């Protein structure tokens, strides 16, 4: 199958998942894109895709957005993202792929069978969660798990959860994209593949918005997590 078609299908699937679940696009896309394109091409490519999707989603969910619930996460991420970007260049690709697989598999397994995370009333914990997310975002575009876990500790209502998570994602994606620009990550090949990814973003989000009223959020979330388990194992082994 041509690489261009694979990029289209992966980005379409990832943005469809993001529109329905509120998270998971990078965990879905990066393991596959990294195997096909390599981390140096996959990371800057999907950073732009994620940013575009998040801007659209946060516009749609803006009335549920609560900045007061997000700023500590954002502050922690802002400090860590440059470290993640620089660190990714120092790690051999095979090790990076295994690390990405461990993050993907671990998050999916915990979300499926782990105990419910306890409520966390002290907001200062958000700085730590944001920092870890920033490291993962900068290195692999996979900062979602700590954000999602923190969101679960806050017991946010579903629409508020999706809106707040998109807000944090968007700030991280802006920084990650800027970091790749400054480090020369947007090569002609990345920009060429982005031309195939852009229509996939529009189609994935569009389909998600249409089918969302007819899909059980709980059943869909579990299906996504099972898929992430498989993707994580494929990278580890």
Domain boundaries, the chain: 3-236
Do 91 and 214 meet the contact criterion of CB atoms below 8 Å apart? no
Among 41-45, 70-74, 81-85, the range with the most confident prediction by mean pLDDT is 41-45
pLDDT at 194 exceeding the cut of 90: yes
Kindly indicate the confidence band of residue 55, based on its pLDDT and cuts at 50, 70 and 90: very high
Residue 100 CB partners (closer than 8 Å, separation 6+): 30, 31, 34, 39, 140, 142, 235
How far is Cα 190 from Cα 198, in angstroms, rounded to an integer? 12
Residue whose pair of structure tokens reads 């299906």 in the numeric block: 223
CA distance 72 to 130: 7
Query: What percent of the chain shows pLDDT beyond 70?
Result: 96
Cα–Cα–Cα angle for 50, 48, 41, rounded to 5 degrees: 110
Indicate if the pLDDT at residue 104 is higher than 80: no
Q: Is this structure's pTM higher than 0.95?
A: no
- Give the model's pLDDT for residue 93: 65
Measured in whole angstroms, the distance separating CA 84 from the mean position of its chain's CA atoms is 15
pLDDT band at 135 (very low <50, low <70, confident <90, very high): confident
């Amino acid at each position: 199958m041509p690489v261009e078609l694979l990029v289209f299908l992966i980005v379409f699937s990832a943005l469809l998942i993001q529109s329905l679940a509120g998270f998971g696009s990078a965990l879905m896309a990066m393991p596959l894109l990294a195997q096909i394109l390599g981390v140096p091409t996959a990371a800057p490519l999907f950073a732009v895709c994620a940013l575009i999707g998040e801007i659209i989603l946060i516009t749609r969910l803006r009335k549920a957005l609560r900045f007061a619930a997000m700023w500590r996460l954002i502050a922690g991420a802002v400090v860590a993202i440059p470290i993640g970007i620089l660190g990714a260049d120092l790690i051999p690709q095979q090790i990076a792929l295994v690390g990405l697989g461990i993050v993907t598999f671990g998050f999916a397994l915990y979300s499926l069978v782990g105990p419910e995370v306890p409520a966390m009333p002290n907001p200062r914990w958000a700085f730590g969660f944001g920092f870890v997310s920033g490291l993962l975002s900068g290195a692999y575009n996979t900062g979602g798990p700590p954000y999602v876990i923190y969101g679960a500790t806050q017991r946010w209502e579903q629409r508020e959860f999706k809106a707040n998570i998109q807000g944090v994602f968007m700030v991280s994606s802006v920084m990650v994209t800027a970091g790749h620009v400054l480090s020369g990550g947007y090569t002609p090949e990345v920009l060429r593949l982005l031309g195939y990814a852009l229509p996939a973003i529009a189609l994935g989000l569009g389909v998600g918005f249409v089918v969302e009223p007819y899909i059980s959020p709980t059943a869909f979330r579990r299906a996504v997590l099972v898929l992430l388990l498989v993707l994580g194992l494929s990278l580890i082994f």
